[in-house]
Every structure is written in C-alpha cells, then in structure tokens.
Amino acid sequence: MTITAYERLTQSFSRIACLNEAAAMLSWDASAMMPPGGAEARGEQLATLAGLAHEFLASPELGEDLAAAQPQGDWEDTNLALMRDAHIRATALPRDLIEASVRAGRTCESLWREARKTSDFKAVEAALAEVVALTRETATILGTALGQRPYDALMSQYQRGITSEQAAGIFARYEAFLKTALPRAEALQATRPAEHLPEGPYPEAQQAALARALAQSAGLDFTAARLDISAHPFCGGTQTDIRITTRYDEQDPCAALMGVLHETGHALYEQNLPARFRRQPVGEAAGMAMHESQSLIIEMQAARSDAYLSHLAPLFGQAFAKPVTSAALKSRLRRVARSFIRVEADELTYPAHVLLRFRLEQALLSGDLTVPDLPGAWNEGFQALLGITPPTHAQGCLQDIHWFDGAIGYFPSYTLGAMAAAQLMAAARRALPTLDAHLAQGDISPLSGWLRAHVHSLGSSLGFNEILANATGEPLNPAYFEAHLTARYLT
C-alpha cells in the first residue's frame, strides 16, 4: 500500500522519538541507579543514541518528504511545521558536534557530582569549559541557520516564542518589584510569631510513603510512574513510564514532599498529553516554561495554599506521629528568607536566582565571562541581587546540574513558568469558584481537570502565549505573579 509523504514523516518521527525515549531512560538510570564506574560507558551510549537520532532527523530522505508533504489540517499542519523546524536545526549541526556535546556533558556531569560534594570548582572547571565551548559552537551554528541571536537559538530549544530581550524586560520588571517587596515581606514577617514544626527525625521511609500518597492523590498514575532518589530532583522518563526523583532530609521533610508534588505537576502534564499524537512533535509539551507552569501550579499555587495546608497538617501528624499544625507548615513552606540554594528558595526570592543564572550564562556564551571567573562573578551577582554571598561553591555556582550537563538557555523557563502558573491559577479560580473547598479536602482533581482541558490536551498545537491567551484571556502578564506574591507575603 502506498503511503503519503506525511505518513512517512510521522513514521520517521516516531522512530526518532523512540531513540530519545531510550536516551531519557538511560539518563534517569545514570542519575538514580547507575554506579559511578558506568559514567564513561553511559556517555558513549547516550552519544550514540543522540547521533542516530540526529542522522535520521537530518537525512536527505526526510528533507524530501518534508518538501513533498501536503497540508493535512490544523493539528497535522502544526505538526508539519514543527517537523520542518526540527529538520532545519538538525541539518545545521554536524553529527560529530552533537555526539561530542553529549559526551562532554555526561563526563562533566559525572565530575560535577563529586565536585559538588567537596565544593571543589577546580575539579570540574576544565570539563565545564569544554561544555561551554561546544555549546557556544552549537549556538552560533543554530543562530545562523534560524536567523536568531546565538543565545535565543538555545532558549528556543527549551521554550519557543520567547526571546532573551523579552525575558530581560520581564526580569528587569521583577527585579524592581523585588527591591521593595522583599524588605517589606521581611519586615511584616518579623512582626508575626512563627510556629515551628516538631524536631526530627522524620524517617525517610515515612517521607517516601507520604510523598507517594500525595502524588497519587494529585492524580499521578503509578501504574505508569515510579519514585526514586537522586542528587537533583527531576521528572524524566516517557509519557507511559514517568520517572520522578527527589532527595530526603530526615530533619526537614517539607523539601522532599513539596519537591515530589512539584515533579508530579510535570508528570501529570506528560501523562495527559494528546495520545493521538504521541511521539509526534505536535503531541509534545509546549515548551519548558509551560512545563514549569504545570509543576508550580500544583506545588506553589495549590499545595502551599491555606486550604491545602489545612488538609496536609493532619496527614503529617499521622505519618510521623508528631503534632503538626497548618500554621507550622505555613511558617516552614511560606517563609521568606534570603538563601543560597535555588531549589530551596521561597517564591519571592526564587526569580532572583534565575535572573543571576540568565545573566551569567549569556556572558559565558558570548565570551564576556570565562569559566575560571565564574565563581567570582556568581558571588558578586548574588550579593548584588540578594545582599548575601555564598560561603562555598557548593552553595554557589556548583549547586545546579544544568550547565554541567550542557543545558544552557534553560533557566529562564523557571521564572516564566512561575508567572504563567499564577496567571493560570487566577483563571482557574474564576472558572472553579469552589476550588479552595476542594483543596481543603486534599482534592486537586478539579484543578488538574481544568489544566488537562486548557493546557495538557493541547500538546504543542499552540505556542506558550497562545495557550495562555486561550486559557486566561491574555498572553503572559507578570502582574498576576506580582499580585499573587503581594496577597501571600505582603498582606
């Protein structure tokens, strides 16, 4: 039976997606299960898979099918446009550069894991310099092919439709907001007595059981997901085989539990993408800023709300046999503090962590900042934004995995996603007047159902701002995030 060019393309992209799924599972294993001695071999495995995927994507045959494919309909036409974009990117980049970048990232990440433990930046400096050099080469090639600035070409790999210039304007607005909001929040907080959680330990096994129960009650299907431990919490795997990881601290259970709820937001997005377009570009998530909005609307907007915390407190008490109140949880989970670690930062100061990385990675990419000078630039920038200086590199430039794994251009997605989450939550509250009553019962299903209809099921059929406009009535508007923070921390 003769098939059309478009049908051949869908088959090709399905094969490419399978290779990427295999790489995702190997990456999860490297972070959660693999012994240190496997790093070199794993780097070769991942480089080979990336090279094969690139070879298929850049093949002349695929290019011929793209040229011959005819319009099919709304979703199919968007799928075709996304296929063409992927092909342009692939044909611009030589396979040896793809493989070298993956290999360098895997080697650097492995060294980073040990360097972070000992706060030894020198131990990973040379490897990071190689990652940055290869990323700069990639960005230059992609920028030329796409008619974009090199950094914008990298950003668009993670979130299409937002430029560095637009992000810089959004972040500058937030920096001005933070300058007055942070001292106000600190002053207001100081006037209110803080109730503390009972002292630990909070055994890891009980934390894991409660975390799993919370994720399940939020809608995560554990017949197609699992929860494990890694140095840096993440959500990976595939749509039908989700892999969530977290890390546990027996003196502070909140970090792990909120981390799992955060990753559950990512997982719900993946599990509810349109099944009809699975393994097709249009069936994928609409970018990492949109992905981050889905994790943050579950963790920050819903799970840290007054209503949900009133439900969570007795669950804490039962799980750990300790007297836990919602006021104590609120003090722990909504305390504003100038701190060093991004993943532990409060909502108000978190964007400052992202702003610092946004500026530094642009400077690294342009060559204005060299890798050996990164620790000093980090500390100087942190002092300027939050008025404190990290005492160690582990609390400074070594804390995140992203740069060491080659993910430059990713960080803006975090704060853009937080802003989108606030905007989506405002729209969900308008659409669901009884939402808080459900959250007080631990029931997130009305919210997740609304998100499934307005975000998840759309895949990449629309862009970031188009999805927001359809769901909320307007494209990204930082005012919703500022209003959320004002209501929660300044009143």
Give the pLDDT confidence of 438-482 residue by residue, as tens digits: 999 999 999 999 999 999 999 999 999 999 999 999 999 999 999
Name the average pLDDT for the chain.
95
In the chain, where are the structural domains located? 5-161, 165-200+264-489
Identify the pLDDT of residue 71. Answer: 81
Beta-bridged to residue 225, according to DSSP, are 242
User: Which pLDDT tens digit goes with each residue over 71-90?
Assistant: 888 999 999 999 999 999 99
Eight-class DSSP state of 3:
-
User: Which pLDDT tens digit goes with each residue over 268-309?
Assistant: 999 999 999 999 999 999 999 999 999 999 999 999 999 999
Residues 6+ apart with CB under 8 A from 86: 57, 281
Identify the pLDDT of residue 231. Answer: 80
Extended strands (E) in 251-321:
none
Beta-bridged to residue 242, according to DSSP, are 225, 237
Task: Please say if 263 is a catalytic residue.
Answer: yes
User: Which pLDDT tens digit goes with each residue over 172-187?
Assistant: 999 999 999 999 999 9
Nearest to 465 by CA among 293, 339, 311: 293
Q: How confident is the model at residue 358 (pLDDT cuts 50, 70, 90)?
A: very high
pLDDT exceeds 90 at position 343: no
Residues 6+ apart with CB under 8 A from 274: 283, 457, 458, 459, 461
- CB-CB neighbours of 80 under 10 Å: 21
pLDDT exceeds 80 at position 53: yes
Q: What angle do helix axes 122-146 and 95-118 make, rounded to 10 degrees?
A: 150
Can you tell me the mean pLDDT for 340-362?
A: 95
**Identified catalytic residue from 263, 292, 299, 347:** 263
Q: How confident is the model at residue 194 (pLDDT cuts 50, 70, 90)?
A: confident
Identify the pLDDT of residue 193. Answer: 85
User: Which pLDDT tens digit goes with each residue over 7-18?
Assistant: 999 999 999 999
Q: How confident is the model at residue 2 (pLDDT cuts 50, 70, 90)?
A: confident
User: Which pLDDT tens digit goes with each residue over 233-274?
Assistant: 899 999 999 999 999 999 999 999 999 999 999 999 999 999
For residue 411, give both structure tokens. Answer: 């960080």
Residues 6+ apart with CB under 8 A from 357: 342, 400, 402, 411
Q: Which fold has domain 165-200+264-489?
A: Neurolysin; domain 3 (1.10.1370)
Identify the pLDDT of residue 176. Answer: 97
What is the C-alpha separation between 179 and 187, in angstroms, rounded? 13
Percentages (nearest 5) of helix, strand, coil residues in the chain? 70, 5, 25
Identify the pLDDT of residue 218. Answer: 92
Quickly list H helices, 147-236.
Answer: 150-158, 164-190, 204-217
What is the C-alpha separation between 333 and 344, in angstroms, rounded? 10
Local structure of 71: helix, strand or coil: coil
Identify the pLDDT of residue 344. Answer: 85
Exposure class string for 304-332: b at 16+ Cβ within 10 A, else e: bbebbbbbbbebbeebbeeebbbebbbbb
What is the C-alpha separation between 30 and 106, in angstroms, rounded? 9
At 226, which helix (H) or strand (E)?
strand 225-229
Q: How confident is the model at residue 163 (pLDDT cuts 50, 70, 90)?
A: very high
What is the C-alpha separation between 57 and 37, in angstroms, rounded? 32
For residue 148, give both structure tokens. Answer: 């974009």
Identify the pLDDT of residue 73. Answer: 83
For residue 125, give both structure tokens. Answer: 């400096």
pLDDT exceeds 80 at position 134: yes
pLDDT exceeds 80 at position 1: no
What is the C-alpha separation between 482 and 227, in angstroms, rounded? 33
